[in-house]
Amino acid sequence: MIVCVCKSVSDREIRASIAEGVDSFDELQFELSVATCCGKCEESVRDVMAQSGVCASRCGVEHYAQQSAPVTFYQRTAA
Ligand code: FES
């Protein structure tokens, strides 16, 4: 199914790019030029990303699902 009409990009192409390591919306835009013309496909592109297990958030923070950062707790003490 064509997701981006302006650039003729299908969901298969998006999934293939994700399988090759693309893991952000910005990278998809760079690789496939999705959502770079009218922009109406952005939500659909993000939906395909989410269905493929890639974070499609707009926060711009890179998420590393495979790595877990150590959690440190600090205890407040009275001054
Ligand atoms: S439909 Fe994707 S940029 Fe227009």
Q: What is the band of 64 on the pLDDT scale with cuts at 50, 70, 90?
A: low
Residue at 41 is within a domain: yes
Residue at 45 is within a domain: yes
Residue at 65 is within a domain: no
Residue at 76 is within a domain: no
Count of domains observed in the chain: 1
How many C-beta atoms lie closer than 10 Å to residue 16's C-beta? 13
Tell me the whole-structure pTM to 2 decimals.
Answer: 0.72
Residue at 60 is within a domain: no
CATH of the domain at 35: 1.10.10.1100
Pocket (CB within 6 angstroms of ligand 1): 4-7, 34-41
Residues 26-48: tens digit of each pLDDT: 999 999 999 999 999 999 999 99
* Ligand 1, atom nearest to 38 Cα: 4
The residue segments making up the domain with residue 43 are 2-51
Listed as own residue / partner, the contacts of 47-55 with beta carbons closer than 8 Å and 24 or more positions apart are 48/3, 48/11, 48/14, 48/15, 49/14, 49/18, 49/25, 52/14, 52/15, 52/18, 54/18, 54/22, 54/23, 54/24, 55/23, 55/24
For ligand 1, mutation pick of 2, 11, 13, 38 (most atoms within 8 Å of CB) = 38
